[in-house]
Amino acid sequence: MDKIISLSIGLLLSVFLAGCYTKSPPTHPDKLSETAQKASASSEIKFFNEQAKNIPPPPMVLPSVYHSISPFSGKTISMGAENANLRQVLYIIAQNAGLNLIINSDVDANTTITLTLDKAPIEDALDTVMELSGCSYTLKNNMLYVQQYTQRTFSIPYIHTQSSFDSTLGGDILGQNAKASGVSGKFALNYKNPIEANDFYKQIEANVKETLSPNGKYTLNKFTGTLIVTDTKKSLDNIDSMLKRIKKSASRQVLIEAKILEVVLNDEHELGVDWNTLPGAIGDFTLSQTLGLSKAVAGTFSYSDKHLNAVMHALDTAGDVETLSNPRIKVSSGQSALFTSGKLVPFWDLEVTPSTTTGTTITPAIYEYTRRDVLDGLSLGVTANITEEGQIILNIVPVTSTIEGEKTITRTIDTVPEEVANAPILSIKEAGTIIYARNNDLVLIGGLMNTIKKDQRESIPLLGEVPYLGALFSRTYQKDEKRELVILLKLTMVEQ
């Protein structure tokens, strides 16, 4: 009976304990991995911090207390010589400096020196003797090595470009036939910048040849821009000075920000924009007539918002302003740039090779058509030169060409006319000028006038709009629309 009671109590306790037990949810594999990663990272950071405590600080690097002492330091020399042999003078200087003397065989033994020294620093005395004799020296330990010719390497980095500029304005106004009557009307203005003048390395070679001594030699590698010269110290110093000036000049650049505008002139300004109003608004603005075109004008003034607004106000007063393009470009000193705005219109030329007969063989004529593109718009050539004083010299040549129509060329084959070619009828306006400006100046070019014929329609109100019958109460005619081209160039110097 007791056993049964004990067993019953045990079963009840088991059921009670089972009811109190709560099963924990299973851990997701990703959370387990994240927990492990946090634990691993934490242990690594702890290990790193412990190791960092044990790493000694880097040793302090102190500047060396030793420095090379010149053998000439604190030494002076007193001597006098009249037409003395160079070798003897060098021997005395080396002896007073406590140096061994080595003289190269290329040193002219007949060179004489006249000098008087009284407690002069030996180094200054030696430099003076080198300058008078054209020699150079180097120190190797306790040896003074003197030579007539030495070698020096120069680096001349430059982009391999060659440009040329050739513009001819004007021409024979009256034509060649007018010469028979003794009347001539030829007027031309030529701007030429040949390609030889812009060949950088060719100019360098020419300058080096002029600077070399009679026995000097040089080697120029144009691919790497490396110049190796063997010559006297004086010639090497002159070449070094020359190359520094050339590289400094070649590194100067001008950023040209152009704004090309066209003004459709109103009736009050059909003769062009009134530029005489600008000096009162700007103050430092002066206009000069440009050679090559009587109505073209050019001027410069310092750039500011006030001055630019004055120019734009003058243009708005003259008519409707349209912006054709806003190009910008960097130009190196002495180089040329070309701005083009407009469209290319194709035309076709016919080249005829006549038929030939050889014996009984007849070769038919050959007709070849060649495409030629004509610019209907503006070409603006600019060549910039920058002086050492910071002045910018601009050679500006604007040329406008407008296609007013075309001429058709025909040929008749078997009484049937056939169109074989067409040629444009062009209206060309060109000008050329040289302008002196400075950094942050605005160059203005105006007066490039053009006339365009446009169709205009007039009609009686209401009646002119009636379908089919409106033509009886309206008319269409051509009206001359005058336009002026205006070019603004903002100049900013850029020096490398």
CB 311 within 8 A of CB 274: no
pLDDT of residue 176: 47
At residue 363, does pLDDT exceed 90?
no
DSSP symbol at 107: S
Question: pLDDT higher for 35 or 244?
Answer: 244
At residue 369, does pLDDT exceed 80?
no
Q: How sure is the predictor about 200, in pLDDT bands with cuts at 50, 70 and 90?
A: confident
At residue 188, does pLDDT exceed 60?
no
Q: Highest-confidence range of 32-46, 48-62, 193-207, 262-276, by mean pLDDT? A: 262-276
Report the candidate in 161, 80, 168 with the shortest Cα–Cα distance to residue 120: 80
User: Is residue 193 within a helix (H) or strand (E), and if so which, with residue range?
Assistant: strand 186-193
Domains and CATH numbers, the chain: 76-148 (3.55.50.30), 153-169+188-251 (3.30.1370), 254-494 (no CATH)
Question: pLDDT higher for 62 or 87?
Answer: 87
Mean pLDDT within 247-264: 85
Measured CA angle at 493 (ends 492, 495), to 5 deg:
145
The phi and psi torsions of 267 (rounded to 5 degrees) equal -65, -30
At residue 183, does pLDDT exceed 90?
no
Q: How sure is the predictor about 65, in pLDDT bands with cuts at 50, 70 and 90?
A: low
Q: How sure is the predictor about 91, in pLDDT bands with cuts at 50, 70 and 90?
A: very high
At residue 278, does pLDDT exceed 50?
yes
CA dist 136 and 152 (Å) reads 12
CA dist 197 and 202 (Å) reads 9
CA dist 272 and 259 (Å) reads 18
CA distances from 323 to 310, 400, 427, 484, 488 (A): 17, 15, 21, 12, 11
Question: pLDDT higher for 239 or 396?
Answer: 239
Hey, what are 20's tokens? 């109190």
At residue 155, does pLDDT exceed 80?
yes
Mean pLDDT within 133-151: 89
Report the candidate in 6, 21, 234 with the shortest Cα–Cα distance to residue 132: 234
Question: pLDDT higher for 125 or 246?
Answer: 125
How many Å separate Cα 98 from the centre of its chain? 56
Q: Which residues, listed in sequence order, are joined to residue 115 by a DSSP beta bridge?
A: 81
Residue in this structure with the two tokens 């007018």, named with its chain if needed? 178
Mean pLDDT of the chain: 75
Mean pLDDT within 378-407: 82
Tens digit of each residue's pLDDT (9 = 90 or more) over 292-327: 444 567 777 788 788 888 888 888 888 888 888 888
CA dist 331 and 289 (Å) reads 26
Instruction: Provide CB contacts within 8 A for 451, sequence distance 6+.
Output: 427, 480, 481, 482, 483
Question: pLDDT higher for 296 or 252?
Answer: 252
Percent of the chain with pLDDT over 70: 70
